[in-house]
Structure 1
Amino acid sequence: MHAWLCENPIGVDALQWKELPTPEPGAGQVRLRIEAASLNFPDLLIVQNKYQMKPPLPFVPGSEYAGVVEAVGDGVKHLKPGQRVACLSGTGGFGTHTLAPAALCMPLPDGFPAVDAAAFIMIYATSYHALMDRAQLKAGETVLVLGAAGGVGTAAIQIAKAAGARVIAAASSDDKCALCASLGADATINYTQHGPLGGLRDEIKRLTGGKGPDVVYDPVGGDFAEPAFRSIAWRGRYLVVGFASGPIPSLPLNLALLKGASIVGVFWGDFAKREPQANAAMMQALAGMYAKGQVKPVIDQTLPMADLRKAYAIMGSRSVKGKLVLVN
């Protein structure tokens, strides 16, 4: 097998495409022939030693992937060779083969292409857990999605619309806003025109008739957090999803008091570990939504697995709409 090996987590340039022994699965594991793997923001942080999970060295990055089961280890009963699955295990995806925990593999129904499957679990599980579980989103409510043209943002738009909500999508260009509108967003905000330090708050107020959004979905953080939170409706829920802009913001807690609002943390990874039955039910629901055409990953482009460095550079340029996927 071949894989991108991280022996020194000092950045993308240190990754090496290497030939490695093809491993045999241990107890509770399966060996997958990887068909596709998607690039997520944590995949960039982990090779820079900036992610909260720090795997032992050396490791193969690539948190999310889809492929075909080649072999199963002891105790694996629900999967068999030849079966197609998707998996989000944190590492291992950027190669031709990997060992995956069988318990984390999602069996794929017929008609679920590998490229879509490799781009599915993280963004839809995060967004569904955030909106439907943590925010308890109801039909008729208004959701403001920041970073709306990215992976989790596009997923959030689709899930919120399927739930009957009104969606305001904020993104950084007219092209990205047009994408959000094509996914069902009812209104868009281009924050190069209505910036977080300028007119963002006024534009949110205008688009909500002064009421503010019931739910703010924020995977961006930084300067966007405070104006968005100041705009929130009475009893609003502010979802802390991530910090793609870099800085972790500090919010004045008196704002939560004045708005009767909640600041709600979203950590899907730990939810999946602590509440596995609830997570399994959620993933079944999402697979059903995919089958009905209610959700479908937005794929910016696919590249050969050998072009991983190029994919990282594209992600770093912040030009990506939806997801980048690498294919074997």
Structure 2
Amino acid sequence: KIVGDIKKGETFFINGGEGGLGVATIQLAKHVFGAKVVAQVASDENGEFCKGVGADVVNNRFKDDLVKTLAENPPNVAIDPVGGPLMGKCIATMPYRGRWISLASMAGPETTLDVNLLWRKNLRVIGSTLRSRTPEEKAQILAGLVRDVYPAFEARAFAPFVHKVMPITEATEAHAILERGENRGKVVLTV
């Protein structure tokens, strides 16, 4: 909310809906902020899971055309931990004053973007990570979570999902689960 300023009735896109970040943001966008939710997933089964936690539209990255899906459901706010070549084409689908938040670049650090769209549509492309934020910014984020999210969590409007708990000695397999897109929620390593 602090970075994307999502508003009730807007459309929200999450790239990687079945992961821990995806599941949390789907629930927040839908149940706390009242947005329509579009999620990119790695399988039809993961798509059904995401619909179950609040996604309105799902796009299977192996079968469906993401640019077409987003053109039909233009996102006002997007959270993208994937990046890569497709990112620029997806940004082009955004409506006026859209906000694209890049958190990582799992599909690669480069994309092509028609920068004319930025000023024509008054778009914002935002890079964001918690690690580099100041203590004051982190405190502001925490206060927003306590104000906007905790009451919904307490009321059971949404819940965290843990796909699997594994010993740290199985970290290689845990990463393989993530890379194969098999997880629905977080994979937790124990020490």
Fold shared by both chains (TM-score > 0.5):
yes
> Where do 1:282-301 residues align within 5 Å?
282-285=144-147, 286-301=149-164
Q: How does 1:1-328 map to 2 (within 5 A)?
A: 132-161=1-30, 162-194=32-64, 199-206=65-72, 208=73, 212-271=74-133, 273-285=135-147, 286-327=149-190
How far 1:283 moved relative to its partner?
A: 4.2
- For the residues of structure 2 that align with 1:249 and 1:189, how far apart are their CA atoms? 20
CA distance in structure 2 between the partners assigned to 1:324 and 1:304 by the alignment: 11
State the distance in 2 between where 1:204 and 1:280 align.
31
Amino acid at match of 1:140: G
Q: Separation in 2 of the partners of 1:250 and 1:223?
A: 7
Mapped contact 1:170–1:191 kept (Cα < 8 A) = yes
CA shift in 2, pair 1:134/1:228, >3 Å:
same
TM-score in terms of structure 1 length: 0.53
Cα displacement (A) at 1:314: 2.3
Q: Which has the higher helix share?
A: 2
* CA shift digits 1:182-222 (9 cap, x unpaired): 1111111112222xxxx32222223x3xxx22112211101
Taking the aligned partners of 2:155 and 2:56, their CA distance within structure 1 comes to 21
Q: Distance in 1 between matches of 2:136 and 2:60?
A: 38
Larger-gyration structure (1/2): 1
In structure 2, the CA distance between the partners of 1:272 and 1:250, relative to structure 1 (3 Å rule), is farther
Indicate the SS of the match to 1:145. Answer: strand
TM-score, scaled relative to structure 2:
0.87
Structure 2's unaligned 5+ residue stretches are none
RMSD of Structure 2 on Structure 1 (CA):
2.0
Q: CA deviation at 1:304?
A: 2.7
Residue aligned with 2:100, SS: strand
